[in-house]
């Protein structure tokens, strides 16, 4: 054994770990997305939606929803043996947004999940990442029964910059969510490379 090489002669791989946020409005499927891809049992902070919260919690469009995230979701996915993502799902309800600053510390990029029935619910998330120059992509979570709109219309409604990727996805489907996460990492890398270039030129 030389310097900790494995028996097969391959050097041990120390994976790069990246932090990705999963944000968006109330009930768009953030907790579902983290749970769909996480290879560890996701940490959740769900609380029951109560009668008391009913006037504040607008559950129209997600009537089957009984719980809500009050702090964060946490999960992990190994995209390649040398690339591990830590996923942090944010709380969707406005009264828990104070958590976002803490959660976004050190994040490489973010997914803003959107539901075309309630697009306005993700305006705040789009604004948040734009202002902080955190690279993000928009994942349109295709709920059954929700109308499908052409990409250009969704982009226009969200007033997205040209370079912000927009993907259709199903937050319940592992492969679909993986595509979204690969998209965020690629986008964040391009963003970082562009920044480096603008600093050196
Ligand atoms: N049909 C359908 N239902 C979905 C999909 N994604 C999530 N759901 C359901 O929608 C509801 C909302 O999902 P959550 O994952 O809790 O949403 P959230 O964004 O974490 O919600 P908050 O944390 O309260 O903001 C749940 O009842 C899910 O089962 C989807 O792609 N299709
Ligand atoms: Mg949640």
Query: pLDDT tens digits, residue range 116-134?
Result: 999 999 999 999 999 999 9
Residue 196 lies inside a defined structural domain of this protein: yes
170/180 Cα distance (integer angstroms): 10
Mean pLDDT, residues 184-192:
94
Residue 10 lies inside a defined structural domain of this protein: no
The token pair at 95 is 């009264």
Query: For the domain that residue 121 is a member of, what is the CATH number?
Result: 3.40.50.300
**Ligand 1 atom nearest residue 173's Cα:** 31
DSSP codes joined into one string, 57-76: S--TT-TT--EEESS-EEEE
| Total domains in the fold of the chain | 1
**Ligand 1 atom nearest residue 90's Cα:** 23
Residue in the block written with tokens 């959107």:
114
129-163: per-residue pLDDT in tens? 999 999 999 999 999 888 899 999 999 999 999 99
Closest CA to 137 of 33, 27, 17: 33
Supply the residue whose CA is at minimum distance from atom 23 of ligand 1. 69
| Probe residue for ligand 1, chosen from 54, 115, 171 as the CB with the greatest number of ligand atoms within 8 Å | 171
12 C-alpha to ligand 2 centroid (Å): 36
Given its phi and psi angles, is residue 10 left (phi above 0), alpha (psi -120 to 50 degrees) or beta?
beta
Write down the pLDDT at residue 5.
55
Residue 7 lies inside a defined structural domain of this protein: no
Supply the residue whose CA is at minimum distance from atom 1 of ligand 1. 143
Interior angle at CA 137, CA 23 and CA 176, nearest 5: 85
Q: What are phi and psi of 111, to 5 degrees?
A: -105, 130
78 C-alpha to ligand 1 centroid (Å): 23
73 C-alpha to ligand 2 centroid (Å): 7
Write down the pLDDT at residue 3.
52
Residue-number span of the structural domain to which 48 is assigned: 16-200
Run of H or E residues at 114: strand 109-114
- Ligand 1: residues with CB < 6 A are 26-32, 62, 64-65, 68-69, 91-93, 141, 143-144, 170-172
75/83 Cα distance (integer angstroms): 14
User: Is 0.85 surpassed by the pTM of this model?
Assistant: yes
Residue 6 lies inside a defined structural domain of this protein: no
Question: What is the dihedral sign for C-alpha 130, 115, 25, 76?
Answer: negative
Residue 59 lies inside a defined structural domain of this protein: yes
Share the mean pLDDT of the chain.
91
Q: Strand 83-89 vs strand 73-80: parallel, antiparallel, or unpaired?
A: antiparallel
Residue 9 lies inside a defined structural domain of this protein: no
| Probe residue for ligand 1, chosen from 29, 35, 60, 147 as the CB with the greatest number of ligand atoms within 8 Å | 29
Asked if residue 72 lies in contact with residue 99, where contact means CB atoms within 8 angstroms, the answer is yes
Supply the residue whose CA is at minimum distance from atom 2 of ligand 1. 143
The token pair at 80 is 């390649």
pLDDT band at 52 (very low <50, low <70, confident <90, very high): low
H helix runs in the chain, sequence order: 30-37, 99-104, 123-131, 151-158, 174-200
Residue 24 lies inside a defined structural domain of this protein: yes
Which of the pair, 56 or 162, is modelled with greater confidence? 162
pLDDT band at 8 (very low <50, low <70, confident <90, very high): low
Does position 200 have pLDDT exceeding 50, yes or no? Answer: yes
- CB proximity list for 117: less than 8 A, separation 6 or greater: 61, 143, 146, 147
Residue 4 lies inside a defined structural domain of this protein: no
């Amino acid at each position: 054994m030389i310097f900790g090489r494995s028996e097969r002669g391959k050097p041990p791989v120390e994976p790069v770990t990246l932090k990705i946020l999963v944000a968006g409005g109330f009930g768009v499927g953030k907790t579902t997305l983290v749970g769909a891809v996480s290879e560890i049992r996701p940490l959740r902070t769900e609380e029951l939606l109560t009668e008391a919260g009913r006037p504040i919690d607008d559950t129209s469009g997600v009537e089957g929803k009984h719980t809500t995230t009050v702090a964060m979701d946490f999960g992990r996915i190994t995209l390649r043996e040398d690339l591990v993502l830590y996923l942090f799902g944010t709380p969707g309800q406005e009264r828990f947004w104070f958590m976002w600053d803490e959660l976004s510390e050190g994040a490489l990029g973010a997914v803003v999940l959107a539901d075309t029935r309630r697009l306005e619910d993700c305006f705040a998330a789009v604004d948040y990442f734009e202002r902080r120059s955190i690279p993000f992509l928009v994942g349109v979570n295709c709920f059954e029964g929700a109308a499908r709109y052409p990409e250009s219309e969704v982009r226009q409604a969200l007033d997205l910059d040209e370079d912000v990727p927009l993907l259709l996805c199903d937050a319940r489907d592992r492969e679909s969510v993986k595509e979204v996460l690969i998209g965020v990492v690629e986008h964040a890398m391009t963003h970082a490379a562009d920044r480096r270039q603008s600093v050196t030129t």
